[in-house]
Amino acid sequence: MNDKKSYLMIISGLLAAGLTVGAQAQDGFSEALSKAVSEGSAKVDFRYRFENVDDDAFAKDANASTLRSRLTFQSGTVGGFNGLLEFDNVTYVGSDDFNSTENGKVDRPVVADPKGTEVNQAWVKYGTESLSGIYGRQRILHGSQRFVGGVAWRQNEQTYDGLRAQWGEASNLHLDYAYVYNINRVFGPDDSAAQPANWKGNNHLARLDWKLGDNHTLSGFIYALEIDERGAWSPNKSVNNSTDTYGVDYSGNLGPVAVKAAYATQSDAGDSVLDYDADYYMLEGAMSSAGISGKLGYEVLGADNGVGFKTPLATAHKFQGWADKFLTAPGDGIEDLYLGVTGNLGPVKLGAFYHDFSAEDSSEDFGTEWDLVGTWPISKQFSTQLKYANFSSDSDRYSDAQKVWVTLQLKL
C-alpha cells in the first residue's frame, strides 16, 4: 500500500462492499449510497506553527514556519459499515531555515516537519454495540500514549496500516487489539537520508482496560514489535526498535488525590542485534482546588547492557520535557522527577512544569527544564497557543536549548 492510487482503490472497494451488504436491508444500493453521503461529513483543519529552536550545539537557530492543511471525509453508517478518507499537506510558509530531516540543512537544529502530501487515514469500519473492526490506515492511541500514540504534535501525524478490533462488555471491560504491518512515521511522507518514512513489519498491539469502579481503572498491555531492517539506515533507526513489552497501569482517585501508576518490562525481539532487558515505572499524584491543579510525578526508563528502555511508537513529546532532549532514552536510562501547575486566567488556559533529569544506571545528572504554555480557545473553530521550553544541561552529553512555538489552528 505504498502507492496512493492502489490504496484508494482498495479502500473504495471495501467501502463499496460494505455499502452493498447494507443495501440488502435498505431497498437497494442507491438508497444505501445516498444515506452514506447524506449522513456523512466533510471537515477542513488548518494548523499554522512557527517554531524557533536555539540550541547551543548549533551555531544557527532553527526557524520553522509551517502550515498543515487537512481534509477529512467520513461517510454515514449503512448496515453497520462506515468509512473515512483523510488527506494531509504540510508546506513551508517562507524559508525553511531548519533541519526538516529531508532538506539537508544539518547546520541547524531539527524540526521534524517535512513538507509533502499524503493519505493520513483511509479506513473502513464495521461495528455493533459491543464489537467493532476497522481495516486500513488509521489513528491508534492507547491510554496516555506513552507506548502507542499518534504524535499529533508534529505536523505530519503518525498513523498505522493494519487491522484493529475492539470489544467491550457492559462498559467494564474493553479489549483493543491491532495487527499493524506498516507504521507511517512523522518523518514522511518520503524517505530521507536521515530517517525512513515508514517501518514495515509484523507488530501486535494489545491492551485490556478493566474498570474496577467509578474512579478506578486497571489496564494490561502487550506490545510485540517486529520491525523490518531498512538497509539504507543504521539498525538503530529500524530493526533495533523491535521489542517485546509487557506492562500494567492504573488510574484512579484515592480520596482527593488522582493517582496514576505504571510498570512495564521490555526485551529485544525480532531481528534486533541488541541484547537487553529493561524496566519502566511511573508514579504520579495530582490534586485540584479553586480552579488550580497541581501534580507531582516520578518516571523511570531503565537500561541494560548500554541500551535504554525504548518507546518507538509513543507520543514522546508529551513526556520528559518539551525540549525533546530525551525522545530516545540514553544507554544508562533516565529518571525524571517532575511537577506541574495548571489553571485558567479568564479564557486562557495556563500551565507551568519543571523537570529534573538524571541517569538511572549511573550517577550522572542530565539537567533541568522549565516548560510554559498558554492556550486561548477563541472560538469553537479557532484557537491559539504560545509554548516555551528551556532545558539547562548539567552534562557534557547534552546542550542547553530553548524552544518557542506559536500555533494558530482553524477547524471548519
Q: Residue 19, by phi and psi: left (phi above 0), alpha (psi -120 to 50) or beta?
A: alpha
> Under a CB-based contact definition with an 8 Å cutoff, are residues 300 and 338 in contact?
no
Q: Which pLDDT does position 13 carry in this prediction?
A: 52
Mean pLDDT of 227-248: 97
pLDDT in tens, 344-393: 999 999 999 999 999 999 999 999 999 999 999 999 999 999 999 999 99
Mean pLDDT of 386-410: 98
Q: How many CB atoms lie within 10 A of CB 59?
A: 8
Is it the case that residue 1 has pLDDT exceeding 50?
no
Could you tell me the three cell numbers for 326? 530525551
Reported residue count of the chain is 412
Q: Which pLDDT does position 37 carry in this prediction?
A: 83
Q: How many CB atoms lie within 10 A of CB 292?
A: 12
Is it the case that residue 146 has pLDDT exceeding 90?
yes
pLDDT in tens, 57-69: 999 999 999 999 9
Q: Which pLDDT does position 32 carry in this prediction?
A: 74
Is it the case that residue 188 has pLDDT exceeding 70?
yes
Name the band, by pLDDT with cuts 50, 70 and 90, for residue 254. Answer: very high
pLDDT in tens, 273-295: 999 999 999 999 999 999 999 99
Q: Please give the model's pTM, rounded to 2 decimal places.
A: 0.91
